[in-house]
Amino acid sequence: MSGNILAVVCAGCLVAPASAWAADDDPYAPLKLYEGRWSVVSDQDGKTTAVENHCARTGLFFACEQVVNGESAAIIVFLPHGRTADGQTYRTQTLTASADAPRPWYTLTIDGEQWTYAPDTGGKPGRERTLNQFTGPDKIHFDVQNSTDGKTWTTKMSGEERRIP
């Protein structure tokens, strides 16, 4: 699987309904909902990808191994980073089964029903992000977007995700 598709699958499938936890609750609670099987369908080509997440908290860290179309593809590590005006934040890191060099750390920000994954930019305007918009606990619409100025965003890929019982 290409790195770009894996990044979308990693960011897009590790989702949970934001309404399932309150701001004062355990910051790990939403991450626990990542466990399970998902079907990801790209709007561009209609291709379906099967993703299964095997997740666990190990002390301070929370990690999910992702199996994509039946093959172990990556482990995604989450580290709670606190609340900001934009929502609850987590630092995330993806390590691939092929032992590629890790990408830079990303930040996941949860604000209500919208979850945003973006690379850490050191305070500079962002140039890429993945938005997940929930329409219930088992359905998510995702948009992978780019920007030249960090303000105006263009969608380069989108799709739907559904939890598989």
- pLDDT for 58 beyond 50: yes
pLDDT band at 15 (very low <50, low <70, confident <90, very high): very low
Cβ 62 vs Cβ 42: under 8 Å: no
Average pLDDT of every residue of the chain: 84
Burial of 47 (0-12, 13-18, 19+ CB in 10 A): exposed
Average of per-residue pLDDT across 16-44: 73
Question: What is the architecture of the domain spanning 3-164?
Answer: Beta Barrel (2.40)
Give the dihedral of Cα atoms 79, 133, 16, 106; nearest 10 deg.
-20
pLDDT tens digits, 106-135: 999 988 888 899 998 777 777 999 999 988
Are the C-beta atoms of 90 and 107 separated by less than 8 Å?
A: yes
According to the model, what pLDDT value does residue 25 have? Answer: 73
The predicted structure's pLDDT at residue 37: 95
Identify the pLDDT of residue 120.
85
pLDDT at residue 11, as a whole number:
53
Mean pLDDT (whole number) for 22-46:
82
List the domain boundaries for the chain: 3-164
Contact between residue 95 and residue 78 where contact means Cβ atoms under 8 Å apart: no
Backbone φ and ψ of 83, nearest 5°: -100, 145
